[in-house]
Structures are given as structure tokens and as C-alpha cells.
Structure 1
Amino acid sequence: MSLVFAKWSPEYYTGNKKVDEEHQKLFEIVNKLHDAMKKGHGKDVLKNTLDELIKYTIQHFTDEEFFMLSKRYPRYQEHKKIHKDLTDKVKDLRAKFVSGDVNINIELLHFLNQWLAHHIKGEDFKLFKYLREQEALKKEEMALLVDE
């Protein structure tokens, strides 16, 4: 039985089905990495799981950035930089792990879990709040046109 380390909860819902599904998958991969570590799996299994996390994170960020561009999100560059910084940090941790300079430990997993939760409830919520506000403005504008 797997111990849930990074727990997905309804408080992380953005309202965008694709983004929410991708976030849930990221939580699953962090839990998979935690399980492999707790079960004492070897370096190859941990490396492969870390690689899966990096690959999926990059795909998720690419999807999210495309979405932001398509909606003309004004904080796109700032949000993209945050994505790049995390990707660079995780790639650096992976390189250190592969070279033997760092171990996959609870501290690293805690960082990943906290970053994921913080990013969703911070940056991603700002994005979807902005989009909801834009949609409300469009509805108000349409209502004004109908009333005229």
C-alpha cells in the first residue's frame, strides 16, 4: 500500500479541467518518487521517476504557457520565468543526484510538494482569477449592448 505524501485536494482546483488533471498527475508522480524512496529502490528507479517528473512538469508548463498566450495573460512573462526557475532547479537537483552529490530525501520531496501546492494556489490561481474577471467583463459588455 502506498503512503500518500503529496495529497491532492479540492482546494487546488483551478476550474480548468485539463490544468487540474495535469496538476493531479504531478502530485501522483511526486508520490511515486516518495514511494520509491521509502521502499529503498535503487538509484536507477529513483532517477527514472525523477526524469518522469521533469518531463511531465515541462509538458505541463508548456501547455499552461500556451494557454496563457492564447488568453493574452498580462503576467505571462513573469509566470513563465517562475516555470523556468523551477525547471532549472529540478534539473540541477537531478544532475547532482546522478553524480552522487545529493540524495532523494524527504527534504527534496517536501520542497517539490510545497512548491507544487504554493504554485497552484499562488500563480495559477492568479491566472484563472484574471480569466474569470475577463469573462465577467465580456458578459457585462454584452449585456450593455443588448440593453441599448
Structure 2
Amino acid sequence: MAYAFTDDLRTGNATIDHQHEQLFLAINNLLDACSQGKGRAEMDKTVKFLYDYTIKHFSDEEKLQQHSQYPDYLNHKKYHESFTGVVREIMDELEQKGPSLTLVFKVNQSVGGWLINHIKIEDAKVAAHIRQHNG
């Protein structure tokens, strides 16, 4: 199942939205690699990119939150840390067991599903705060 970055996922912040689009692209690339039975090397590369890009994105997003004095920054940071741990677990599982349908399911549920919910709920609050702070 491919994920689409639809208008209801836009926060209105160009940097955050662009990075979210890149995360969706990485997730879709990983799902494609899984469904096409690509080799472990291709999947390793895709999961590593997803992990590294997630860390970069969360760092950028947290800087925006700190700059705008977002009141729920610490909780938001905990969500990010939890998600980074999940992606790390997927990397470890891929390294230990190789590509599998279980891994595809985890990517769908734990990465794609989480990201959509996080953007719609938590990131929408951040974007509204930043707009108000800059307004």
C-alpha cells in the first residue's frame, strides 16, 4: 500500500511539509522494495535513509518548536524518540532476519500509520502554534 501525501497532511510550513513528503517517498520506496523482493542491500539502504532522514527531520522540527516556544515541546520530542526507536528496531530486524512480510506489515503499521496520525494530530498543533507565534 503506497502512502500519498495529501493536502490534509500539509501543515502550512514549507520546510516541514517538504520533509514529510520525503519521508512518505522513503516509506513508499521501502514498501516497493519489499513487495518486489529486492535484495537485502536495497532494503538496507532504504531503511538507513529513512532512519537518517527521520533524525534530520525531527531535529529540524524540534528547532522550530524551540524557536517558537511551543508549549508541548517535551512531549512532542518523546513521540519523535519513540518513533526513531521503532525505525531502529526495523533496521535491526532487517539486518538479523532479512526482508519478510512481517517487516512489510511493521513498516505499514509502525511507520506509515504512525506518521500519518502524528502529522494530522501533533504536527498540526505545532504548525498552528508557529503560525500564531509568527502571526
Tell me, yes or no, whether TM beats 0.5.
yes
8 Å CA contact 2:43–2:99 kept in 1: the answer is no
8 Å CA contact 2:68–2:133 kept in 1: the answer is no
Rg: which structure is higher?
1
- Deviation, structure 1 residue 30: 0.5
Greater relative CO (CA pairs within 8 A, separation 6+): 2
Going from structure 1 to structure 2, the CA distance change for 1:36 and 1:101 (only over 3 Å counts) comes to closer
Instruction: Provide structure 2 residue ranges, at least 5 long, that are not aligned to the other structure.
Output: none
CA RMSD of aligned residues (A): 1.7
Give the whole-Å Cα distance in 1 for the aligned partners of 2:130 and 2:69. 10
Give the whole-Å Cα distance in 2 for the aligned partners of 1:85 and 1:109. 15
Give the whole-Å Cα distance in 2 for the aligned partners of 1:28 and 1:83. 19
How many aligned residue pairs are there?
Answer: 133
Q: Is residue 49 of structure 2 the alignment partner of residue 43 of structure 1?
A: no
Identity of aligned residues (%): 31
8 Å CA contact 2:51–2:84 kept in 1: the answer is yes
**TM-score of the superposed pair, with normalisation by structure 1:** 0.83
- Deviation, structure 1 residue 7: 1.0
**TM-score of the superposed pair, with normalisation by structure 2:** 0.90
Instruction: Provide structure 1 residue ranges, at least 5 long, that are not aligned to the other structure.
Output: 137-148
Give the whole-Å Cα distance in 1 for the aligned partners of 2:99 and 2:26. 19
